[in-house]
Amino acid sequence: MRSKKTDVGKLCRLYPTPVSYADTPSREGVYQKFYGVYYMNYENLERRGRRRAVAVKAVTYTFLTLWGIFVLFPFYWMVLTSLKSYSAYNGEFIPQLFTLSPTLENYLQAFTAVPLADYFLNTVIFTLLTTALMLAVTVLAAFAFARLQFPGRDLVFTLFLALMMIPSELVVITNFVTITELDLRNTFTGLVLPSVTSVFYIYLLRENFAQIPDELYYAAKVDGTSDLKYLFKVMVPICKPTIITVTILKVIECWNSYVWPRLITDNEAYFLVSNGIQQIRENGFGRDNIPAMMAAVVVISAPLILLFLLFRKKIMAGVARGGMKG
């Protein structure tokens, strides 16, 4: 049996004068009385802290699990429906959360009912052209606003940021009028041109370029390095995570484009996958064949999901780096 002396050695004296438990009704078990003086019982405090931490973790993980189910369930239902046959889907009086007879017939039908492969090719061409031109414009513009000195630089950059306040619907209207007057409808040029500039990406990359110490630039200029060489040999490698993030976000944006391609093209030869969904519904296997429709959506969504899963860490790192000031 432990002695009182040993027990007291594990406690920290709290009150210099004796008090009663009535003075601390809500802290019962925290204090221990020895010789008329109350001491704090750290063993009980640690035990309570561990129980509280376990409870907090349990609540947190339960909430995250429920939230994850809520977010992922629509995609699960989409994939599940795409694996059901048309007759099995229509024969379900109560929707089933699994199927015992999955089929890939809907995926085959998605590629044969309409030229979905051609829509994929158009989307890849549109995405590559738009992303490449956007990167060139964004890198050069961000470098100019971050490093070059010219009259009105800050004013021009402020005006650029003000453009972000303009509703995108207004920009679509003016772009549509311009492209129509230039007779660029139903062309890849008309699809690509309005998307090669992004004020947000310029701002994001400019903030990264501004974090690079000025001493590197001055040292490079002393060695006779040109501005473009300094940009591509020093600044671009340093800001590579953010550039990768901008590239991935632009690819996702291009792949999901719907309004602009729908306005500017009425020729199937220039349809993208997002427009192809509507075409599939109207002229493919019809509105009633939900499983085949879900198969087409899964095929179109899969590349973006894989892209995000592969590069999610780089996306988060690039965005976080863009928000830091060094």
Condensed to tens digits (0 to 9), the pLDDT of residues 135-146 reads 999 999 999 888
| Selected residue with higher pLDDT from 326 and 255 | 255
Sign for the pseudo-dihedral over CA of 146, 326, 218, 235: negative
- The pTM assigned to this predicted structure is 0.71
Residue 300, Cβ neighbours under 10 Å: how many?
22
Q: Does residue 277 have a pLDDT over 80?
A: no
pLDDT recorded at residue 7: 47
Instruction: Answer yes or no: is pLDDT of 132 > 90.
Output: yes
Nearest to 201 by CA among 251, 135, 257, 110: 135
Is the pLDDT assigned to residue 285 strictly greater than 80?
Answer: no
Distance set, CA 187 to CA 131, 190, 253, 264, 285 (Å): 17, 5, 19, 8, 28
* Torsion sign (Cα): 49, 53, 55, 59: positive
- Residue 65 tokens, joined: 């699990």
| Residue predicted with more confidence, 37 or 196 | 196
Q: For residue 307, what are its two tokens? A: 């892209």
What's the confidence (pLDDT) of residue 19?
44
For residues 58-80, give the mean pLDDT. 91
Residue with tokens 């863009």: 322
The pLDDT value given to residue 67 = 93
Please name every residue paired with 13 in a beta bridge, in sequence order, or none if there are none.
39
pLDDT at position 25? 41
Kindly report the average pLDDT of the chain as a whole number.
Answer: 79
Mean pLDDT of 95-109: 82
pLDDT band at 50 (very low <50, low <70, confident <90, very high): confident
- First and final C-alpha spacing in the chain: 60
CB 206 within 8 A of CB 169: no
**Are 273 and 114 spatial neighbours (Cβ–Cβ below 8 Å)?**
no
- Residue 321: the pLDDT is 58
Q: What is the pLDDT of residue 21?
A: 45
pLDDT of residue 20: 47
Question: Over the range 246-264, which residues count as b (16 or more CB within 10 Å of their CB) and which as e?
Answer: bbbbbbbbbbebeebbebb
Q: What does the alpha-carbon distance between residue 88 and residue 68 come to, in Å, rounded to a whole number?
A: 28
- State whether residue 10 is helix, strand or coil: coil
Nearest to 255 by CA among 291, 308, 202: 308
Mean pLDDT confidence for 224-247: 87
Band (pLDDT 50/70/90 cuts) for residue 324 is low
Mean pLDDT confidence for 186-211 = 88
Rounded to whole angstroms, how far apart are CA atoms 294 and 110?
Answer: 9
How many Å apart are CA 291 and CA 285, to the nearest integer? 10
CA–CA separation, 203 vs 163, rounded Å? Answer: 12
- Residue 1 pLDDT grade (very low, low, confident, very high; cuts 50, 70, 90): very low
**Residue of 3 and 103 predicted with greater confidence:** 103
Q: Which residues pair with 31 in a beta bridge?
A: 40
pLDDT at 28 over 70: no
pLDDT over 80 (residue 282): no
Residue among 81, 114, 93 nearest 289 (CA): 81
Q: Which residues pair with 40 in a beta bridge?
A: 12, 31
Alpha carbon distance 62, 73 (integer Å): 16
pLDDT at 122 over 80: yes
Q: How do beta strands 37-40 and 12-13 pair?
A: antiparallel
In whole angstroms, give the CA distance from residue 155 to residue 161.
10
Per DSSP, what are the bridge partners of residue 38? Answer: 33
Q: Looking at this protein, which amino acid is placed at residue 197?
A: T
Percentage with pLDDT > 70 across the chain? 81
Residue 160: its H or E element: helix 153-162
